[in-house]
Amino acid sequence: MRVMKWSMIALAVAAGTSQLALASSQDESKGFIEDSKLSVKTRMLYFSRDFRNNDRDPITGDRQSRREETGLGFLGTFESGFTQGTVGVGVDAIGMLGLKLDSGKGRAGTGLFPTGSDGRSEDEYSKGGGAVKFRVSDTVLKVGDQFTALPVFATDDSRLLPEIAQGTLITSNEIKGLTLHAGHFTSLTAQEQTDRDSLRLKEANVVGGTYAITDTLSTSLYYSKVEDYWRKYYANVNWALPISDKQGLVFDFNIYDTKSEGSADYRAFDGDKLDNRAFSLSGAYNIGAHTFTLAYQKVSGDGDYGYGVDGGGTIFLANSVARSDFNAEDEKSWQARYDLNFAEYGIPGLTFMTRYVRGTDANVAGTSNGKEWERDVDVKYVLQEGPAKDLSFRVRQATYRSSDGVYYGSSSIDELRLIVEYPLSIL
């Protein structure tokens, strides 16, 4: 229980330093019940993936022209407050239910539902969990089931129900502008699965933090080690440069350094162990309602940038978009993006986004000059007032093409997602 020992040491250090600090989060605790939050988020998702070339399924080998399903998901979360005193204690709970509204044996496999041995999606599934948490000053230790958003360990929420991580995470904000994390995780529940180890994670250790140097400049540095997969380093620099009240620039740089560890269960297409760097640099110019973004991304070394066993969201790179991540070995990619916020035109809550990404020089099986491109359109509207406030409607469309089959599964895909969400705060 090495990680638990580290956790107790961290809490002890926080307790000692908090005596010299100003009022902390724990000092301002109102109590276990008084600070509690209870919410339920409802999501209805229609998901259609049209395989334009009638490709074979990469797992079953069967030809499939379309995957098309509709589901209804409920995510309930309870977050208690912390008891008062030097060491605050609290609990969190998660409960999820997914219901199939429309599917079929020939249209299954969207990742919305578990699939049975007959190839059909299950009618319903549920999962959940709980965690106990402790707080000293501005340091929190959480043990149990939880969602994570670290650049080296991030749970995914791109389907009906999100992934859940099981483990221990320390989050410390003792120093102004500095957030530190240290975690130990032992399993992950996939989005459409109920088994606690469905992503085959054995053990992952993470450590790192983010520091806001100024109000407009921040940097991050993280490290992770995933047993029998890899060790990763991640760094980020984000700089916002105001030009005027309605104009500004934002630059964002991300880089991963990945190297295989242990039995190296994830390898390059030619069998080599991973030893690569993946970076992205983006620049965004905002003027009023309009934002124009350009981004460049490159992977160098042996193998793709790999992720998944450490969370489906563990790719903080600019050109990781709706369908492709543009993360193949040696791949270079460019992105042009445009965002429009209609609040400037009297329609608050309505947003529009479109982007185009093109990748070249991907080193994959069969070619060292693989090419791919993707075009995305995203429109979202959120109700701003009334009894249905925060109810949102979203349309996401993606067109993907590759002349060399760079993307695993198919070289030609049209994808459509229709999403309706309603977050209800009960407490």
Instruction: Write the pLDDT tens digit of every residue in 158-178.
Output: 999 999 999 999 999 999 999
Check residue 2 and give its pLDDT.
43
Of 114-123, 137-146, 150-159, 340-349, least confident by mean pLDDT is 114-123
Tokens 């983010």 locate to 210
Mean pLDDT of 107-126: 91
Chain segment 240-266, per-residue pLDDT in tens = 999 999 999 999 999 999 999 988 888
Asked if 251 contacts 241 with a C-beta cutoff of 8 angstroms, the reply is yes
Please name every residue paired with 70 in a beta bridge, in sequence order, or none if there are none. Answer: 46, 102
277 torsion bin: left (phi>0), alpha (psi -120 to 50), beta (else): beta
Check residue 196 and give its pLDDT.
86
| CA atoms within 13 A of residue 380's CA, in its CB half-sphere | 18
**Listed residue (153, 210, 161) closest to 185, CA to CA:** 153
What is the spatial distance between Cα 95 and Cα 40, in angstroms, rounded to a whole number? 9
The dihedral over CA atoms of 140, 145, 147, 149, expressed in degrees to the nearest 10, equals 60
* Per-residue three-class SS string for 351-386: EEEEEEEEEEEEEECCEEEEEEEEEEEEEEEECCCC
* Residue 318 Cα distances to 79, 252, 279, 335, 424, angstroms: 32, 9, 9, 8, 31
Buried b or exposed e, range 58-72, using 16+ CB within 10 angstroms:
eeeeeebeebbbbbb
| DSSP annotation of 185 | E
The SS3 of residue 61 is coil
Please name every residue paired with 334 in a beta bridge, in sequence order, or none if there are none. Answer: 296, 358
- C-beta neighbour count of 23 within 10 angstroms: 9
Number of continuous H segments (helices) and E segments (strands) in the chain = 1, 20
Q: Is residue 323's pLDDT more than 80?
A: yes
Tokens matching residue 206: 């993470």
Supply the range of the domain harboring residue 19.
2-425
Residue 300 belongs to domain with CATH number = 2.40.160.10
Q: What is the residue type of 383? A: L
The helix, strand and coil proportions of the chain, stated in percent and rounded to the nearest 5, come to 5, 55, 40
Check residue 397 and give its pLDDT.
98
pTM, 2 dp: 0.91
Confidence category of residue 403, pLDDT binned at 50, 70, 90: confident
Please name every residue paired with 339 in a beta bridge, in sequence order, or none if there are none. Answer: 291, 353
Q: Is residue 144's pLDDT more than 60?
A: yes
% residues pLDDT > 70 (the chain):
91
Asked if 153 contacts 124 with a C-beta cutoff of 8 angstroms, the reply is no
The SS3 of residue 323 is coil
Of 54-68, 309-323, 329-343, least confident by mean pLDDT is 54-68
Check residue 61 and give its pLDDT.
58
Name the more confident of 345 and 119. 345
**Listed residue (95, 102, 99, 56) closest to 79, CA to CA:** 95
What is the spatial distance between Cα 154 and Cα 313, in angstroms, rounded to a whole number? 5
What is the spatial distance between Cα 266 and Cα 307, in angstroms, rounded to a whole number? 9
What is the spatial distance between Cα 150 and Cα 163, in angstroms, rounded to a whole number? 14
Check residue 414 and give its pLDDT.
94
Please name every residue paired with 372 in a beta bridge, in sequence order, or none if there are none. Answer: 359, 402
Mean pLDDT of 124-128: 96
If one counts the domains in the chain, the total is 1
Mean pLDDT value across the chain: 91
